[in-house]
Amino acid sequence: MSEADKQVVKGFVDAFIRGDLEDALTRLADDAVVDEADGMDFSGTFTGPDGFVKLIEKMAAGVEPRIDSNTLIDGGDVIVSRLEMTFTSKGSGRSLPTRVTEIYTVRDGKIVGLDSFYKDPVAINALYNEK
């Protein structure tokens, strides 16, 4: 990946941190495949900007995610993002700090692939379902 590809991912994550979903969506290709980790209550494969909005809505039904820090690593043909995040239960208000690793593929200045992995998916699911 090039420095330009790394900047596309940085812009995407930075927009999400600012709460500017519209800006983040401009960095996704229409055919981008977002693959959310299996076993999560918001798992699935989501396509394009509209699919990403559906993922965010599904996630937001149970938790409020916050990105605390982001470290980008050039992985050759992919960009790896190591996120320190805090998830807060919409039901109980309890928060959980955790790490999320995302693998991005960029083509022609747009994100075409995003694959997410959670350090402790069981704990996040429990938080998601707290009342």
Dump pLDDT digits (tens) for 81-126: 999 999 999 999 999 999 999 999 999 999 999 999 999 999 999 9
Average pLDDT, the chain: 95
Residue with tokens 């969506």: 25
At residue 64 the predicted structure's pLDDT band, cuts being 50, 70 and 90, is very high
Q: Tell me, what's the pLDDT at 1? A: 61
CA distance 121 to 128: 10
CA-closest candidate to residue 127, choices 101, 99, 94, 100: 94
pTM for the full predicted model: 0.94
Domain residue ranges in the chain: 3-129
Does domain 3-129 match CATH 3.10.450.50? yes
